């Protein structure tokens, strides 16, 4: 039985613990109280374990271009097996429909697998049906530097784990369509998004390495991450830039491992070697998941780390659509 003075000490500890909870501090405290001899029983050590209620950092998994059904299925397999799960999964999905565009069915399949935000690029509008759903899909992006009036949106803000994460998608212009300047558009939109949150992830969908490297340096210190997509081949230059922006030139692709950037070799050879018209097909065989895992500081918005993800395995279901 506890003495009256010990009860008082317990009350002090309870109040202290309650205050810590209200302040959203993670606390796992072992508290000893003064006891009389009669109280020396195992329960004399009181352990207070308080629930975690705030996150100092956020784990964001960002996946490179998802290609066709092998890509969609590998992403689903990979995300299902992940333990622990990331706080947020973002994927470039402009090649989800057999390599060209994305259908509503593909979008729902990837969302079911755990992807929350979808970025795009030069293939975003390849499937006609996208015009029936892009405007109502808040977390499905197309490059922000398309001309004004283009359906869809180039950025969004996703709320997760008590914080807001902005995702911005821009496309390069070197060896690509002559869109508005991705630098000028990024300037404007990063300014707008910064009023809402300091956690900003940018997908730069571009062909030229130089344009992507330039974007990384241009936005360093202003956004949390600048991550490249489009070439389907992962680069090994991931780093956190001096201003605190995580950067990689290209995250690579999620799809066939043995094709030519995801496409069936024979259909590509016909065009590149024989110089004949060829309709590209998604390759069969082993598939891979490529991307990066970034750890972001939720108070400063800066990247704490960037780590490449690259997994090659067998896709469990046969490639179809
Ligand atoms: Fe692309």
Q: What is the pLDDT along the chain (321 residues), one digit of tens a residue?
A: 333 344 444 444 344 433 433 333 222 222 232 333 333 333 333 333 333 444 899 999 999 999 999 999 999 999 999 999 999 999 999 999 999 999 999 999 999 999 999 999 999 999 999 999 999 999 999 999 999 999 999 999 999 989 999 999 999 999 999 999 999 999 999 999 999 999 999 999 999 999 999 999 999 999 999 999 999 999 999 999 999 999 999 999 999 999 999 999 999 999 999 999 999 999 999 999 999 999 999 999 999 999 999 999 988 765 555
C-alpha 96/C-alpha 70 separation (Å) is: 9
CA of 44 to the centre of ligand 1 (A): 64
- Which tokens in the block code for residue 246? 């995580």
DSSP state letters, 180-223: S-HHHHHHHHHHHHHTT-S-EEEEEE-S-HHHHHHHHHHHBTTB
Asked if residue 171 lies in contact with residue 185, where contact means CB atoms within 8 angstroms, the answer is: no
CA of 95 to the centre of ligand 1 (A): 7
Which candidate, 110, 106, 149, 163, places its Cα nearest to that of 129?
Answer: 106
C-alpha 299/C-alpha 8 separation (Å) is: 37
Going by their DSSP bridges, the two strands 163-171 and 200-205 should be labelled as parallel
CA of 55 to the centre of ligand 1 (A): 34
CA of 205 to the centre of ligand 1 (A): 6
Which candidate, 314, 203, 305, places its Cα nearest to that of 246?
Answer: 305
Asked if residue 143 lies in contact with residue 171, where contact means CB atoms within 8 angstroms, the answer is: yes
Options 98, 123, 230, 232, the catalytic residue: 123
Which candidate, 143, 146, 83, places its Cα nearest to that of 118?
Answer: 143
Give the number of other CB atoms < 10 A from CB of residue 188.
13
C-alpha 170/C-alpha 152 separation (Å) is: 13
CA of 188 to the centre of ligand 1 (A): 23
CA of 33 to the centre of ligand 1 (A): 64
DSSP state letters, 79-141: HHH-SSPPSEEEEE-TTTTTTS---HHHHHHHHHHT--EEE--TTTTSSTTHHHHGGG-TTBB
Q: What is the DSSP letter of 22?
A: H
- Which tokens in the block code for residue 19? 């205050």
Q: Where are the domains of the chain?
A: 7-53, 57-317
pLDDT of res. 314: 87
**Fold classification of 57-317 (topology level):** Purple Acid Phosphatase; chain A, domain 2 (3.60.21)
pLDDT of res. 188: 98
pLDDT of res. 55: 85
Q: Is 230 a catalytic residue?
A: no
Tell me the pTM: 0.82
Residues of the chain by 3-state class (helix, strand, coil), percent to 5: 25, 30, 45
Which candidate, 78, 61, 79, 71, places its Cα nearest to that of 201?
Answer: 61
pLDDT of res. 319: 53
Specify the 3-state DSSP secondary structure of 27.
coil
C-alpha 101/C-alpha 124 separation (Å) is: 5
């Amino acid at each position: 039985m506890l003495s009256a003075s010990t009860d008082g000490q317990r009350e002090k500890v309870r109040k202290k613990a309650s205050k810590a909870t209200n302040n959203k501090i993670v606390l796992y405290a072992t508290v000893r109280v003064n006891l009389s001899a009669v109280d020396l029983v195992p329960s004399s050590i009181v352990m207070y374990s308080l629930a975690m209620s705030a996150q100092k950092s956020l784990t964001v998994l960002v996946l490179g271009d998802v290609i066709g059904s092998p890509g969609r299925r590998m992403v689903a397999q990979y995300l299902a097996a992940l333990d622990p799960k990331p706080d947020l999964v973002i994927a470039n999905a402009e090649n989800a429909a057999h390599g060209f565009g994305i259908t509503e069915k593909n979008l729902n399949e990837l969302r079911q697998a755990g992807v929350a935000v979808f970025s795009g690029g030069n293939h975003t509008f390849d499937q006609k049906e996208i015009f029936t759903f892009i405007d109502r899909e808040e977390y499905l992006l197309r490059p922000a530097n398309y001309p004004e009036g283009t359906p869809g949106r180039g950025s969004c803000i996703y709320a997760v784990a008590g914080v807001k994460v902005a995702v911005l998608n821009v496309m390069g212009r070197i060896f690509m369509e002559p869109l508005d300047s991705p630098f000028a558009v990024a300037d404007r939109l990063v300014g707008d998004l910064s009023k809402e949150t300091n956690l900003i992830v940018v997908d730069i969908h571009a062909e030229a390495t130089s344009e992507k490297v330039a974007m990384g340096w241009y936005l360093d210190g202003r956004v949390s991450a600048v991550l490249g997509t489009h070439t389907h081949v992962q680069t090994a230059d991931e780093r956190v830039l001096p201003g605190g922006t995580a950067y990689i030139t290209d995250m690579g692709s999620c799809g066939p491992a043995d094709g030519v950037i995801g496409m069936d070799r024979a259909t590509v050879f016909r065009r590149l070697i024989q110089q004949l018209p060829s309709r590209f097909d998604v390759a069969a065989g082993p598939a891979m998941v490529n991307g990066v895992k970034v750890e972001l500081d939720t108070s400063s918005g800066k990247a704490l780390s960037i780590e490449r993800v690259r997994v090659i395995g067998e896709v469990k279901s046969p490639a179809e659509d």
